[in-house]
Structure 1
Amino acid sequence: MAALREAGYELRPDPATLAQKVGQREIAKRAGLARMTVAALARGEGTIQSYVTLAAALKVTPRIAERKSYSACMSSRDQTWRTPQDLLASILAAAGRSEFDLDPCSPSSDGPVPALVRWTEADDGLSQPWRGLVFVNPPYSRALPRWVAKCADEANAGAVVIGLVPSRTDTRWWHDAVADQADVIMLKGRLRFGGGAHAAPFPSAIAVWGDPALAERIAAALPGAWHIPAQKTAA
Structure 2
Amino acid sequence: MAALDFRLTGIAAGKTLPEQLRAERRKRSMSLRDAAEKTGLSPTTIASLERGGGSVASLLRLLAVIAPAARRRAPERSYWGQGDKEDRDSRFTPSDFMAGIYAAFGEIDLDPCGHLLSPVIAHRRILLSEGGDGLVDEWSGKFAFVNPPYSQLLRWLRRAHDQWCAGKVETVVCLVPVRTDSAWFHETLSADADIYLLRGRVRFLDTQGRGQHTPFSLMILTLGATCQQKNRYAELVPGLWLARSVRAVSGDQGHRSLTPAE
Number of paired residues?
185
Q: Which runs of 5+ in 2 are unaligned?
A: 1-11, 21-51, 65-70, 248-262
Report the AA paired with residue 216 of structure 1: N
Structure 1: distance between partners of 2:217 and 2:57: 30
Deviation at 1:215, TM superposition (A): 2.5
Question: Higher mean Cα deviation, 168-177 or 192-201?
Answer: 168-177
1:91 pairs with 69, 77, 101, which one?
101
In terms of fraction of residues, the more strand-rich structure is 2
After superposition, where does 1:157-172 map in structure 2 within 5 Å? 157-158=166-167, 159-172=170-183
Structure 1: distance between partners of 2:205 and 2:174: 16
Question: In the alignment, what sits opposite 1:120?
Answer: 127
Deviation at 1:111, TM superposition (A): 4.1
After superposition, where does 1:187-198 map in structure 2 within 5 Å? 187-195=198-206, 196-198=210-212
Deviation at 1:65, TM superposition (A): 10
Over aligned residue pairs, what C-alpha RMSD do you find? 3.5
- Change over 3 Å in CA distance of 1:27–1:190 after alignment to 2: farther
- In 1, are the aligned partners of 2:15 and 2:83 still within 8 Å (CA)? no
After superposition, where does 1:197-216 map in structure 2 within 5 Å? 197-213=211-227, 214-216=229-231
2:163 pairs with 136, 147, 154, which one?
154
Q: Which runs of 5+ in 1 are unaligned?
A: 1-9, 46-63
Structure 1: distance between partners of 2:92 and 2:221: 17
Greater C-alpha Rg: 2
- TM score, norm. by length of structure 2: 0.59
| Percent of aligned positions that are identical | 32
Q: Which has the higher contact order (CA 8 A, sep 6+)?
A: 1
Question: Higher mean Cα deviation, 144-153 or 191-200?
Answer: 191-200
After superposition, where does 1:38-187 map in structure 2 within 5 Å? 38=72, 40-44=73-77, 67-69=84-86, 75=89, 78=90, 81-95=91-105, 97=106, 99-108=107-116, 111-121=118-128, 122-127=131-136, 128-141=138-151, 143-158=152-167, 159-187=170-198
Question: In the alignment, what sits opposite 1:51?
Answer: none
- In 2, are the aligned partners of 1:178 and 1:207 still within 8 Å (CA)? no
- TM score, norm. by length of structure 1: 0.65
Question: Higher mean Cα deviation, 195-204 or 131-140?
Answer: 195-204
Question: Higher mean Cα deviation, 195-204 or 155-164?
Answer: 195-204
- Change over 3 Å in CA distance of 1:140–1:68 after alignment to 2: closer
